[in-house]
Amino acid sequence: MLRRSDPPPQSSDEQTEGQAPPIRTVIVIGASAGGRAAIGTVLKDLSHDIPAAIVVMLHVDPDSDFDLSKWFRQFGHIEIRETRQGERLYEGAVFVAPPRHSVTVRDGQLGLETLERTTSPRHTINRLFESAAKAYGDRVIGVILSGYLADGS
């Protein structure tokens, strides 16, 4: 488990424009619809002061209006948020992709793209992982709990 042992990050005033904020670690978690319980298991053991921002991409039925962020709140003491376009990442929070959306990370902010109904596989987990790696490099931890075909693998 990650522990708070590093010095605190710089304030946002000390950031250079265009660079990712001084978040120590970003954890990206991807799972197919069957991975909901597995994500809950991971979240229940996380401390509210984990020195990382966590972004969750879970495949769900495109017709579902199920509130994942509300469901995940039952598993722990960490802040759970439904991702919003342009929202800034910060440590100690879990950002959950809303149904029918793809999430990306860029310059410390979350991007949302509405997914159109399609029969071809969408590589939403891959896009999340690739964007986080570009933004945070070796400060990213990727977790695949389950996947569909090549998405996330």
Positions marked catalytic: 32, 59, 151
- Residue among 145, 139, 104 at smallest CA distance from 26: 139
Burial of 31: CB neighbours in 10 Å, binned 0-12, 13-18, 19+: buried
- Residue among 112, 13, 117 at smallest CA distance from 55: 112
Query: Are the CB atoms for 131 and 15 separated by under 8 Å?
Result: no
**Cα separation, 78 vs 6, whole angstroms:** 20
* H/E run at residue 106: strand 101-106
Helices (H) and strands (E) in the chain, counts: 3, 7
